């Protein structure tokens, strides 16, 4: 009798397994019909849309977890709306504050007095003193470059400035505006604002399309600097060989177009390739691998919808001649500054991409293999901070700033 019961149980379990394997419920697929892994993602909220990714791994990849013990230590709470973060050769940090001040922080959190000599900024809305970077030869020339929202007679625009940090580090000397992303517009959103040196000593600068329906189409227009990644020299001139320079109707400084609001730029430490992240609307935050001359789609294709729930354009996600994001989020995480990790202190983080996330209040870690995201992790989520920018220090630690005024050092225990 006992053996009969065991036999019945075995066949019953086999039947359940058979029913499960022969279920008529279709597995989740991409827009091309490829199956998507059902491994658990860090995202548990429902998406805003029913749009399908173009390929497996384009969104909601499997969660990963850092195995090395690490901690996020608050170095200071005394910053005032920090926005941009850059590392000086001696390991100290240059930090912009949105209202127009510049500070220097040591690796233990000691802050300088506000540095004077910077031009006036329009700090309304999303404007202000934005991204910053030291010259690659800063140790000898003390030059720094920054992005800011510059007031104009009619409106404002994204501008790039440069100047020399004085020997006593109390002021910027000879501050000049080397580039203005025209046309100006009377608005207070989507300035872009990141700035980064390439490997040849020229600058990449990001702009936004200024958000409003009136300006949004300019992201697709090559006679406008809105919604672009720009490639300029240290004097603000177009870099020779830029992809659109041969047509006199185009702005020769444009490197790529079709962007919404780029707030993250980083060079891959191994390949040297340029990566960016940009805000989507309601859904559709993106990470892109940037190739010169390419069109990244906004506002024609998107994985998001309007904030009021309406569709955007024809509500399409793919179109010939327009690039797909390597990765996207829905709902959004509002990623701002980002950096690749290239240090030796945390080997499992090597070549991973770290993004400072605002609305999602965490630092996102993306594992990338062969230009595809294979894992995602959320760091410092319990801190409940709006992370604005992140950079790797000379000591191999990550440093991050938050809208609430904190500076963090993230390192192994």
DSSP conformational letter for 357: E
Instruction: Yes or no: say if 258 and 297 are a contact pair by the CB < 8 Å rule.
Output: yes
Instruction: Yes or no: say if 254 and 226 are a contact pair by the CB < 8 Å rule.
Output: no
Buried b (16+ CB within 10 A) or exposed e, 294-318: bbbbbbbbbbbbeeeeeebeeeebe
Beta-bridge partners for 335: 357
225 vs 246, 252, 269, 339, CA distance in Å? 16, 10, 28, 24
CA distance 213 to 222: 18
Residues 6 or more apart whose Cβ sits within 8 Å of residue 228: 181, 206, 207, 219, 251, 254, 255, 256, 257, 259
274 vs 43, 256, 360, CA distance in Å? 26, 11, 24
- Longest C-alpha distance within the chain, in Å? 95
Count how many Cα atoms sit within 13 Å of the Cα of residue 129 in the half-sphere of its side chain.
Answer: 28
Does 259 qualify as catalytic in the annotation? no
Instruction: Yes or no: say if 104 and 115 are a contact pair by the CB < 8 Å rule.
Output: yes
Residues 6 or more apart whose Cβ sits within 8 Å of residue 220: 227, 257, 258, 295, 298, 299, 300
Catalytic residue among 190, 231, 259, 362: 190
Residues 6 or more apart whose Cβ sits within 8 Å of residue 23: none
- 3-class SS of residue 216: helix
- 3-class SS of residue 7: helix
Instruction: Yes or no: say if 141 and 110 are a contact pair by the CB < 8 Å rule.
Output: no
What are the backbone angles phi and psi of residue 187, rounded to the nearest 5°? -150, 180
Q: Does residue 305 have a cis peptide bond before it, meaning omega lies within 30 degrees of 0?
A: no
Tell how strand 362-369 and strand 254-257 pair up: unpaired
What are the backbone angles phi and psi of residue 196, rounded to the nearest 5°? -155, 135
Positions marked active-site: 190
């Amino acid at each position: 009798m006992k053996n009969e019961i065991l036999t019945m149980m075995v066949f019953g379990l086999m039947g359940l397994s058979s029913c499960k394997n022969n279920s008529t419920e279709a597995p989740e697929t991409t827009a091309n019909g490829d199956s998507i892994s059902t491994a658990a993602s860090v995202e548990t909220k429902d998406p805003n849309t029913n749009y399908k990714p173009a390929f497996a791994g384009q969104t909601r990849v499997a969660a990963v977890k850092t195995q090395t013990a690490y901690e996020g230590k608050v170095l200071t709470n005394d910053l005032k709306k920090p926005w941009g973060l850059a590392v000086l050769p001696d390991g100290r940090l240059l930090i912009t504050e949105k209202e127009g001040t510049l500070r220097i922080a040591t690796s233990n959190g000691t802050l300088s007095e506000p540095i004077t000599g910077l031009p006036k900024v329009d700090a309304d809305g999303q404007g202000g003193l934005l991204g910053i970077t030291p010259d690659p030869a800063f140790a000898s020339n003390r030059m720094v470059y920054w992005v800011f929202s510059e007031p104009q007679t009619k409106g404002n625009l994204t501008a790039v400035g440069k100047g020399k940090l004085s020997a006593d580090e109390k002021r910027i000397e000879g501050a000049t505006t080397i580039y203005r992303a025209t046309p100006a517009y009377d608005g207070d959103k989507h300035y872009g604002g990141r700035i980064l040196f390439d490997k040849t000593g020229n600058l990449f600068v990001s702009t936004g399309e200024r958000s409003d329906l009136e300006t949004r189409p300019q992201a697709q227009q090559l006679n406008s600097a809105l919604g672009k990644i720009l490639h300029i020299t240290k004097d603000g001139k177009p870099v020779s060989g830029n992809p659109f320079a041969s047509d006199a109707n185009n702005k020769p400084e444009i490197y790529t177009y079709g962007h919404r609001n780029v707030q993250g730029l980083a060079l891959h430490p191994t390949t040297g390739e340029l990566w960016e992240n940009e805000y989507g609307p309601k859904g559709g935050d993106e990470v892109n691998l940037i190739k010169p001359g390419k069109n990244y789609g906004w506002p024609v294709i998107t994985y998001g919808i309007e904030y009021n729930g309406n569709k955007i354009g024809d509500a399409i996600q793919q179109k010939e001649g327009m690039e797909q994001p390597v990765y996207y989020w829905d709902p959004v995480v509002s990623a701002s500054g980002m950096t690749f990790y290239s240090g030796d202190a945390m080997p499992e983080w090597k070549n991973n991409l770290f993004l400072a996330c605002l609305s999602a209040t965490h630092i996102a870690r993306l594992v990338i293999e062969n230009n595809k995201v294979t894992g995602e992790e959320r760091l410092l989520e319990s801190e409940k901070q709006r992370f604005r920018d992140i950079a790797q220090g000379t000591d191999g630690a990550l440093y991050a700033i938050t809208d609430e005024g904190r500076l963090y050092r993230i390192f192994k225990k």
